[in-house]
């Protein structure tokens, strides 16, 4: 079954900032990554955190707190093209396990 | 730019028939994954290869599903017989690094299977 929890949907306004949270199972965990998937497309890698702290890549940032078994993806200066599903995925026991995904809706 | 190739893109089959999907990972990628994704859900790992060896197939329904990667390069996933509940997107992914160092996987465009 799924060991990652993330909200099913989030809505934000174009130009704003949105945070998508993810909690994970700790057993065998070694890192948390984030993927974006547009409708009809394949998941594409966004970021990876193995250590606590913030990783920034352009408008996207990802954060990890191992002590809280928690991470988030932060999207800034939202654009309409950011409308997609976002998955957190944990590296655990040599596997990549995906969450159920968060559907991001962006309003003009 | 190197990419993961999958075929076919779409497949419609009748229940109880056999169906096969093919994946060619990015050259040099030792790890290959097959995931199944039902609409509105996250990808579910079916099987993972390291070179030609299966390292995890705990979620593969082995009574009807089989997967192979004979030469450690391309891979085939087979379903026989197909059932209505197998309708989903089947995604292949590959990664260069040994797990534990990174979880960046590169996905193909998938095969959308419809069982009628």
DSSP string, A8-28: SEEEEETTS-EEEEEE---TT
Report residues of chain A scoring pLDDT below 70: 1-2
Distance from CA of B14 to the nearest CA of A (A): 23
Judge whether B99 is closer than 8 Å to chain A, CB to CB: yes
- Closest CB to A96 among B105, B108, B110: B105
CB A44, CB B107: distance < 8 Å: yes
Burial of residue B57 (number of CB atoms within 10 Å: 0-12, 13-18, 19+): middle
Confidence of residue B102 (pLDDT cuts 50, 70, 90): low
Show the CA angle centred on residue A18, arms to residues A17 and A21, nearest 5°: 150
Report the pLDDT value the prediction gives residue A4, as an integer from 0 to 100. Answer: 92
CB B34, CB B113: distance < 8 Å: no
For B25-29, what is the mean pLDDT? Answer: 93
- d(CA A52, CA A70) in angstroms, rounded, equals 10
Q: Do A31 and B103 touch (CB under 8 A)?
A: yes
- d(CA A29, CA A52) in angstroms, rounded, equals 13
A93 vs B56, more confident? B56
- d(CA B14, CA B84) in angstroms, rounded, equals 8
- Closest CB to A42 among B40, B56, B109: B109
Q: Which residues of B touch A101 (CB under 8 A)?
A: 40-42
Question: What are the C-alpha distances in Å from A80 to residues A11, A59, A102, B76?
Answer: 12, 13, 16, 37
Distance from CA of A83 to the nearest CA of B (A): 14
Q: Which residues of B touch A95 (CB under 8 A)?
A: 45, 48, 56, 99
Query: How many whole angstroms from its chain centre is CA B9?
Result: 13
- d(CA B77, CA B97) in angstroms, rounded, equals 23
- Closest CB to A94 among B41, B42, B55: B55
Judge whether A45 is closer than 8 Å to chain B, CB to CB: yes
Q: Do B102 and A101 touch (CB under 8 A)?
A: no
Neighbours of A28 (CB within 10 A): 13
Report the pLDDT value the prediction gives residue B21, as an integer from 0 to 100. Answer: 98
Report the pLDDT value the prediction gives residue B2, as an integer from 0 to 100. Answer: 83
Phi then psi for residue A71, to 5 deg, are: -150, 170
Q: Do B100 and A48 touch (CB under 8 A)?
A: no
Neighbours of B2 (CB within 10 A): 11
- Closest CB to A96 among B33, B40, B110: B33
Q: Do B45 and A45 touch (CB under 8 A)?
A: no
Q: Do A48 and B103 touch (CB under 8 A)?
A: yes
Summarised one tens digit per residue, pLDDT across range B7-20 is 999 999 999 999 99
- d(CA A100, CA B52) in angstroms, rounded, equals 29
- d(CA A45, CA B102) in angstroms, rounded, equals 11
């Amino acid at each position: 079954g799924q060991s990652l929890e993330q909200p099913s949907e989030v809505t934000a306004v174009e130009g704003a900032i949105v945070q998508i949270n993810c909690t994970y199972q700790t057993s065998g965990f070694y890192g948390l990554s984030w993927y974006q998937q547009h409708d009809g497309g394949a998941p594409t890698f966004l970021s990876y955190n193995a250590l606590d702290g913030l990783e920034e890549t352009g408008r996207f940032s990802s954060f990890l707190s191992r002590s809280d078994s928690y991470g988030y993806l932060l999207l800034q200066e939202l654009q309409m093209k950011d409308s997609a599903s976002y998955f957190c995925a944990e590296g655990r026991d040599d596997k990549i396990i995906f969450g159920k995904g968060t559907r991001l809706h962006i309003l003009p | 730019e190197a990419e993961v190739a999958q075929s076919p893109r779409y497949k419609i089959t009748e229940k109880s028939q056999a169906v096969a999907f093919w994946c060619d990972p990015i050259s040099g990628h030792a790890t290959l994954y097959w995931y199944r994704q039902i609409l509105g859900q996250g990808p579910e790992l079916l099987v993972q290869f390291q070179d030609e060896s299966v390292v995890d197939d705990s979620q593969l329904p082995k009574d009807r599903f089989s997967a192979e990667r004979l030469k450690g390069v391309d891979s085939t996933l087979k379903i026989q017989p197909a059932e209505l509940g197998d309708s989903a997107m089947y995604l292949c992914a590959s990664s260069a690094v040994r797990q534990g160092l990174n979880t960046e996987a590169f996905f193909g465009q998938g095969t959308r299977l419809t069982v009628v």
